Amino acid sequence: MDNPSGQVLQRAISTIAQVDPLIKLLQQVRLGRLKPTDAGVRAVTESWIETYERVLALEGLTRSGLRRLDPAPRVAVLVEIGVLASDHEAVARLSASFHRAMAVSPEEPEQGLSSHGPSGQGGLDAASRSDQRR
């Protein structure tokens, strides 16, 4: 990912992963070692939501990058195990932040498209792209 938007996306993913409650707490809650309502679980989850909102506001994220950052699947898991309620204010706020970011972000051109049309005939062919990666 040599392009600036790719670098921003990688930084965003890395930042979110550092505070991701699914990685740290999901197993513990499912095993019954922690309760979904425990203060520690709540604190980690709230920190994750706040971090996610800050990441969604980063300059340089494109719509395709934001699609990869969509919080909905992770929120659904947290709702499913009882860590968050679907009508929780923070869930609504995070969803609104995501949709707002999608509305204002630029669309990144599709890979392989060229000025010669959607077939990409004027661009590098697959073998040339493969050779350049080596």
pLDDT digits (tens, 9 = 90+) for 29-55: 989 999 999 999 999 899 999 999 999
Residue 124's pLDDT band, with cuts at 50, 70 and 90, is very low
DSSP 110: P
Residue 20's pLDDT band, with cuts at 50, 70 and 90, is confident
Rounded to an integer, what distance in angstroms lies between the CA atom of residue 2 and that of residue 14? 16
At residue 88, the 3 state secondary structure works out as: coil
pLDDT digits (tens, 9 = 90+) for 90-117: 999 999 999 999 999 988 755 544 333 3
HSE-up of residue 83 (Cα within 13 Å, Cβ side):
29
Closest CA to 111 of 53, 55, 62, 52: 62
Residue 2's pLDDT band, with cuts at 50, 70 and 90, is low
Q: Is the pLDDT of residue 7 over 70?
A: yes
